[in-house]
Homo-oligomer: A and B are copies of this chain.
Amino acid sequence: MSRQNDLGIAETHTVTISPPGGLQLECGESLQAVTIAYETYGKLNRDRTNAVLIVHALSGDAHAAGFHHGDRKPGWWNGFIGPGKAFDTDKYFIMCSNILGGCKGSTGPSSIDPSTGKPYGLRFPLISIGDMVHCQKLLVDHFGIERLLSVAGGSMGGMQVLAWLTRYPGQVRSAIPISTAIRHSPQQIAFNEVGRQAIMADIDWKSGDYYEGPPPARGLSVARMVGHITYMSDISMHDKFGRQRKDCIQPFKFDPDFEVEGYLQYHGENFVKRFDANSYLFITKAMDNFDAGRGKPLHHLLRGIDAKVLVLAFKSDWLYPTYQTKEIARACKLAGIEASYCEIDSTYGHDAFLLEIEEETHLITHFLKKVYNGYEVMTDNAGI
């Protein structure tokens, strides 16, 4: 891919915010202060009306676009953010922050607990998607932005988008939830639970107090392998691997034979270098506990909200099947919100939200332009 539309060097900044009385969490506990790692791209205009917040998925971070010094790989949504891209940095001011509970600069279970001087581990409070969004709200306030032009994200990012809509309805002009759900199905909970069990089964996990020794690498690697399978589709795995065998001598019976095994193992092991196992536990639990409707049908909470919504989904996504994204669009309609639902015919499975750059760019560009210019949004491409 050409780098001509890329942003060049990007940098992660941090800000530590101590709300009066501390950050109150939904579980009832609080944190004295919260550090938020973030990146921004483009320029905030004088009226502060061109800010778009990008929210990341389970293993994402604040580094959504551009290149960190010395890195050969750009941020996780680089294809979408930059001059002339879907989130056009010539027009918009793009922000992305690492979630609360994460391990890429924001406060999380690997952060130092000021009351003990040691990493929180399992003493970190049970955070929620709402708490993550609360922190993003503090960051947005910190920039003096009263109303976001848009909030956009896929997977768990999409959950945060829904939480923004229902919690801070006056502060978002539009929202783009992608490949996500109002709440997890038992199958989605089950896949997350297997990942958690794999981590907690690792002898190195030590009830979360592993920061002075080796991390629970094998458990986290298995958790990531499970995740990877669910992010791809039967077809995309066929296309990528087939039944191709690995081209090497295997000294050991249960070494990977097939390409797909080697791929999973490689990505599992690699993940350990960049992710904290306790963060994996806390974040997946926040996803499983999430219910955008907070016990009620979602449209009850959406009523009267003045925001436009673009819901994107992908046909081969079996982790977040399209019936779940349709439910979001339906709730918007029931609440009288202007919403469009677009189902993209991709074979990439759940990963599609990171990969179908062209199709998504077309839809997002058009949508954001209309919102920014105050026009009415386009109509559906799918009857729901």
User: In the bound complex, do residue A189 and residue B234 qualify as a contact, i.e. CB atoms below 8 Å apart?
Assistant: no
Does A48 touch B at the CB level, under 8 Å? Answer: no
Interface centre among A122, A196, A243, A268 (most CB of B within 10 A): A243
Asked, given contacts A234-B185, A237-B185, whether A254 binds B200 with beta carbons under 8 Å apart, the answer is: yes
Tell me the number of copies of this protein: 2
* A190 touching B260, Cβ below 8 Å: yes
| Chain B residue at minimal CB-CB distance from A256 | B193
Given contacts A126-B253, A289-B257, contact A193 B264 (CB under 8 A): yes
Known contacts being A122-B253, A194-B264, is A187 close to B229, with CB within 8 Å? yes
A170 to chain B, nearest CB (A): 30
Contact B218 A201 (CB under 8 A): yes
Given A186-B240, A189-B258, A190-B260, is A197 in contact with B265 using a C-beta cutoff of 8 Å?
A: yes
Q: Could you tell me if B260 and A189 are in contact, using CB atoms closer than 8 angstroms?
A: yes
Q: Which of B185, B218, B222, B242 contacts A194 (CB 8 A)?
A: B222
B186–A268 contact, CB under 8 A?
no
Hey, what's the 0/1 contact readout for A251-289 against B, CB within 8 Å counting as 1? 001101111110011001000000000000100010011
Q: A189-B258, A285-B254 are in contact. Are A202 and B201 (CB under 8 A)?
A: yes
A183 interface residue per 8 A CB criterion:
yes
Residues of B within 8 A of A221 (CB): 197, 201
Contact partners of A268 in chain B: CB under 8 A = 197
Neighbouring B residues of A234 by C-beta, 8 Å: 185, 187, 321
Q: Tell me if A258 and B122 are in contact (CB < 8 A).
A: no
A238/B288 contact (C-beta < 8 A), A122-B253, A221-B197, A261-B193 known: no
Interface check A219, CB cutoff 8 A: yes
